[in-house]
Structure 1
Amino acid sequence: MDVMEILKAYAEEIDVVIDDSLSKLEPESLYESSEYLIKAGGKKFRPALTLLSCQAVGGKPEKALKAAAAIELTHTFSLIHDDIMDNDDTRRGKPAVHKVWGEPLAILAGDSLFAKSFELLSQSAEDNIAYERVVDALQVLTNSCINICEGQALDMAFEDTFNVTKDEYMNMIYKKTGDLITASTTIGAIMGGASSNEIQALRTYGKQIGLAFQIQDDYIDLTGDESIGKPVGSDLVEGKKTLMVVYALEKANKEDHDRLVELLEANDESIIPEAMEILEKYGAINYARSKAYDCVIESKQALSILPDSDAKDALFKLADFVFTRKS
C-alpha cells in the first residue's frame, strides 16, 4: 500500500471511536463545534502512527484504537486553540471553528476535546490493557500536552525577537509539534506491550519524524502552491522565525542581516522575493532540507531493533512521506 492507502485504512475506524465519544456531548452546538474539524478531513497521520507502532511490536491494533483516537482529539484541540490565538480564518479549507461558532464556544470545544482525549485513553483498560500500561500512556499524553503549551508559548515569545538560535528553534518545534508525534508512537508501543528498548526505539522514531514534519511545513510554505490553502511565503510576511530564517540571520553579514530583519518586520507580501533571495544566498533553504532529511534517516535507523513486519515497512514509508509531502 502507498502512504495515503495506509492512512485511509485506519481513518474510518478512528472516526467511529471519536464520533461515539463526542456524540455524548451536550448541547448540540458543543457537539457540532467539537467534531467540526475532525469531519473536515485531515490525514489522521498521528493516530495511524499509534496503531502501526502497536502492530510493529506485536500488538493487535484494536487494542490501541482508543489511544489513537485520543491522540487525534488532542491534536484537534490544539488546532482549535491555535487558530483562536493566531486569529486564523480557515483550517482544512473551511472557516475556522471560532469563525463559525465564536471564540467562547470554540474554546469550550477545544477544552472538551482535551478532556475527551484523556477519557478515551483511560478507557483502554476496558480492552484488557494492563492498568500499568494505561497509566504509562496517560503520563506520556499528559507530558505531551504540557509541551504543546510550552511550545506555543515559546513560538509566541519568538515573535518579539530576532535572536533565536537553531537549538532554541528545534526545542520549540519539538514541543509544539514534534512531541505529540512522539507521544503517538510511544503510546502505540506501550499499548502493544513493547519492551523498554522497543518503546525507546519508537520514541526516537517519533521524535525525529516530528522534527522533520515541522521543518517540512516551513519548507512547503516557501516552495509550495496556494492550492494547499495557505499563501506561499506567508511565514515570511508574518515574520515567523523558521529554521531557514534563523539560519540565514546567523550566517548573514551585517547588511543582509539587518535588511532581512527589516523585511520580516514589514508585514507585507511585497517583501517575499527579496527575503527569499537572502535565504537562498546563505543556503538556508538547502540547510533546512538537509536537516529534515537527516532527521528522517535517524528515525529509520531507530527502527532497526524491531522485527520485520508490514507495520515496520509502513512506518518507513511514513517517514519518507514526511520528507516528500507537499501539503
Structure 2
Amino acid sequence: MEQLSQIETFLSLHQQRSEVKHAIPGIHRSRLDHQPRGLGKLHPAVQQTLNDFLFQPALEIRQRPSHSFRSHLVDVGFLLAGSAIGSRDRRNLDLCAESIEFLHLGSLIVDDIQDGSEVRRSGKALHCLLGTPHALGIGNWLYFYAMRILSNLDLSETQRNVLYEVYVETVELAHYGQIMDLCIKVDRVPYSQIDTLSQECIRYKTGSIVMLALMLGALAGGADDEKIQAVEELGYALGVYLQRMNDLGNCLGSFDPEKKWEDLVNWKPTFIWGFVAREYGGAAVQQLIQAVRELPNEAAWQAWLDKRDLFDEAKAMAEQDFEQSLQTFRDTTQMSWNDLRPLAQLKERIQKAYG
C-alpha cells in the first residue's frame, strides 16, 4: 500500500474548526495528492522525523485553547461580500480559516521567542519546550505552510492571484510591525513620535493579519473591487481595535495574568503609550515612565492610575474609532445593520475575551 506524504497526513488532521463545526471531509485533498514539488518520495525515516519534530509540535500548540478570532473573521468577510454560502464556498472558507490560523500561530511562536515570553495558550511557549532554534524553524515553516494551504482553494486564476498578492503583502507588513514592536523603546523616543509610532505599529503588526482574514473571506465570496477596498479598511480598523483591547487587558491582567505588564515593562509602543501621549501630554508620559520602571512594585503605577480614568477613557476611544470605521464601511457599501450583525457579535467576543 502506497504511503501518503506526511504533509498530506498532517493536513488531514485539521479538518475541524473551532468556530464552524460542519467542515467537509477531505477538505485538504484537492491539490495534495502529491508531495510538494522538489521533495520527491519521502523515505519513511524522513516522514517520521518530520512528524516528530515539525508536524506534531505545531499540532500540539495549535490544539491548545484559543479564541480563534481570525478563523471566524474569514466567515464574516465572506458574509460582507454579500454571498450565500454553498458547499464549494464552505470548503474554501475552511481552507482560508486554517491558513490564517497557522499564519497567526507561526507569528506567535516567533513573537514569543523575540519577547522572551514563557507562556502561550495556557501552556509553555514552544521555545521553552524545544529550544529557540527548533521553535524558530517551526514558526518560520508555518508562514509557508499557511500559503500552501491556500493552493487548494477552488477559485478562478484571477481570484487566486489577488489572494496570493494580498497574503504576501500582509506578511511583509506584519514583519514591519514586528520590527517596530521589538526595536522601538518608548522611553527612548521623542515624545512627539510616541502616538504615531504606537498607532502604526498596531496597524502593521495586528491590523494587517486581521485585514487578511476578512479579505480572504471576501475574495472567496467574489466581492467586487469597491467592496474589497472597503473590507480592507474595515479589517485594519478591527485589527487595531482587537490589539487595543489586548493592550488594555495586558495592563489590567484580565487575561493571561502571568503576562500582566509585559508590554509596559518592555517599553513596547502599545495603545496605552499612544493614548497617554495624545490625551494626557508629555508630563503624564514622563510620570508613567517613572512608574513603569518600578514595576512589579506597583505602588507608583497605582498612584499614577488613581489620578486618571485611563482604562475607561482609552476603551471609549477605541470604541468610538471602530464605530466610525464601521459607519464609513456601511455608508460605502450600503449594507444594513442587520447584515453587519455577525461583525458586531465578533466585536462583543473580543470585548469579553480581553475585558
Return the alpha-carbon distance in structure 2 between the equivalents of residues 19 and 42 of structure 1. 26
Match of 1:29 in 2: 53
Q: CA deviation at 1:233?
A: 3.3
1:121 aligns to 2:150 (yes or no):
yes
Match of 1:179 in 2: 208
Match of 2:300 in 1: 274
Q: For 1:120-199, what aligned pairs fall within 5 Å after superposition? A: 120-124=149-153, 127=154, 129-159=155-185, 161-163=188-190, 164-199=193-228
Match of 1:4 in 2: none
Q: Whose radius of gyration is greater, 1 or 2?
A: 2
Q: For 1:21-170, what aligned pairs fall within 5 Å after superposition? A: 26-57=50-81, 58=83, 59=85, 60-124=89-153, 127=154, 129-159=155-185, 161-163=188-190, 164-170=193-199
Q: Secondary structure at the match of 1:10?
A: coil
Q: CA deviation at 1:287?
A: 3.7
Q: Secondary structure at the match of 2:311?
A: helix
Whether the aligned pair in 1 keeps the contact of 2:175 and 2:205 (CA below 8 Å) is yes
Q: Secondary structure at the match of 2:354?
A: coil
Whether the aligned pair in 1 keeps the contact of 2:195 and 2:275 (CA below 8 Å) is yes
Number of corresponding residues: 315
Match of 2:323 in 1: 297
Return the alpha-carbon distance in structure 2 between the equivalents of residues 248 and 309 of structure 1. 33
Return the alpha-carbon distance in structure 2 between the equivalents of residues 309 and 251 of structure 1. 31
Normalising by the residue count of structure 2, what TM-score does the alignment of the two structures yield? 0.78
1:10 aligns to 2:10 (yes or no):
no
**Structure 1 28/214 Cα, relative in aligned 2: closer, same or farther at 3 Å?**
same
Find the partner of 2:263 among 235, 239, 249.
235
Q: Secondary structure at the match of 2:109?
A: helix
Whether the aligned pair in 1 keeps the contact of 2:208 and 2:236 (CA below 8 Å) is yes
Whether the aligned pair in 2 keeps the contact of 1:50 and 1:184 (CA below 8 Å) is yes
Q: CA deviation at 1:307?
A: 4.9
Farther-moved stretch of structure 1 (253-262 vs 48-57)? 253-262
**Structure 1 273/138 Cα, relative in aligned 2: closer, same or farther at 3 Å?**
farther
1:261 aligns to 2:289 (yes or no):
yes
Return the alpha-carbon distance in structure 1 between the equivalents of residues 283 and 214 of structure 2. 45
Among all aligned residue pairs of Structure 1 and Structure 2, give the percentage whose two residues are the same amino acid: 20
Farther-moved stretch of structure 1 (279-288 vs 110-119)? 279-288
Farther-moved stretch of structure 1 (228-237 vs 108-117)? 228-237
Q: CA deviation at 1:17?
A: 5.7
Deviating runs (4+, > 6 A) in structure 1? 18-21
Find the partner of 2:346 among 300, 318, 327.
318
Normalising by the residue count of structure 1, what TM-score does the alignment of the two structures yield? 0.84
Structure 2: tracts of 5 or more residues without a match = 1-16, 33-46
**Structure 1 197/237 Cα, relative in aligned 2: closer, same or farther at 3 Å?**
same
Query: Please, what is the CA RMSD of the aligned residues?
Result: 3.2
Whether the aligned pair in 2 keeps the contact of 1:52 and 1:311 (CA below 8 Å) is no
Q: CA deviation at 1:168?
A: 1.8
Whether the aligned pair in 1 keeps the contact of 2:234 and 2:325 (CA below 8 Å) is yes
Whether the aligned pair in 2 keeps the contact of 1:299 and 1:319 (CA below 8 Å) is no
Find the partner of 2:243 among 214, 217, 222.
214
Structure 1: tracts of 5 or more residues without a match = 1-6
Return the alpha-carbon distance in structure 2 between the equivalents of residues 28 and 56 of structure 1. 40
